[in-house]
Structure 1
């Protein structure tokens, strides 16, 4: 599951891409403390009655495991959690736009189908400082200037799995095989290799502006613009790692037009 601003989703890179997303809510009287429109559940309150969806009342086992799980989500404002949960799925309304059929009605602006948690069986605690547990994947890193315009060049996020998440998994496997071992230890090279194809004929000079054991941020002044590159060790890639080591991945490249 991923949880953050306007985000409480089921996410799994192993699942084939579908034309819908699955929003998460809790059964019973528990609200998820998720800010979204509309009206959202950001007040940290409880419902006066158990959740009712499509005329079905959905209960919740509010035990110690559930409380520990929700404590983790409150502690980490933007996060990814590996969880085993039992619940009820509601497909929502069938819609067709431009020949594409999808299901929606729940969540932020009615984006999604709905999974209602009835019981949390187990979840993986966050104990590794070398892994980036966030779902935003660098979306909120500062551009370093007064931004006039912003263009996203690359965004690899478990919250929105697509071909780029598949490429990240393939990169982990190549590094595990020994083909690209440098991806374990050279975040600046990872950043540079991700930028060069976006700017053919140019020679990006990256300057590191942030460094932790799980994330590094680089900037490159491209004329009047500022290019930001975020590399991290995504927690979700540990599910595919042959050993405990996770490669560095360029998860965000964005170019800001600066005043």
Structure 2
């Protein structure tokens, strides 16, 4: 850290899933690899767009960074929240192309597991974290490419959270309205028409704004179908 004067060093990791060790997506992308090697600004852009995981465990940090930073209390996906604060301060970031961490994705209770993704509370926190990141990107006036990537993530998470909550019904009224308000507002954003969110997502986003009750009914059936599928898979695994 001292030798290269970096505030943060990003190192490689591997993921354990389906009883296999696999490289993360950015390692399989030649363009991303060139950006990582090219230095600080490119690494910063990959991080702020969440193309390199905004997790705590695949990085080394100078202790000085943490004198004023604190994780948000009561929030899930706290890594993503704190990384927005880190990136706001424009730290010097370097890349170390060595695998120093193995991340286990086979934990069925993880927030990123299939079951965890059907929890509306954690998804709502992730939506809020993404929205906060989008605000930072807009404030820094970064490129439309970076803005578009985070706008896509925000819209996708808002839609998915609305659908999951249609089955769970755990969010309070104000939280549900925040999802609808965000989608309604961003659908008028000129950049929204330039990003490819897909036909299905586009229809769902429109429906959440204009016919939320109908989308809610569909969301409940979808939630039940996904939960039943997970229960079946769990039962089959237990039998084996």
Q: Same fold (TM over 0.5)?
A: no
Q: Which has the higher strand share?
A: 1
* TM-score grouping bracket, smaller chain normalisation: under 0.3
**Superposition TM-score, scaled by structure 2 size:** 0.24
TM-score by length of 1: 0.23
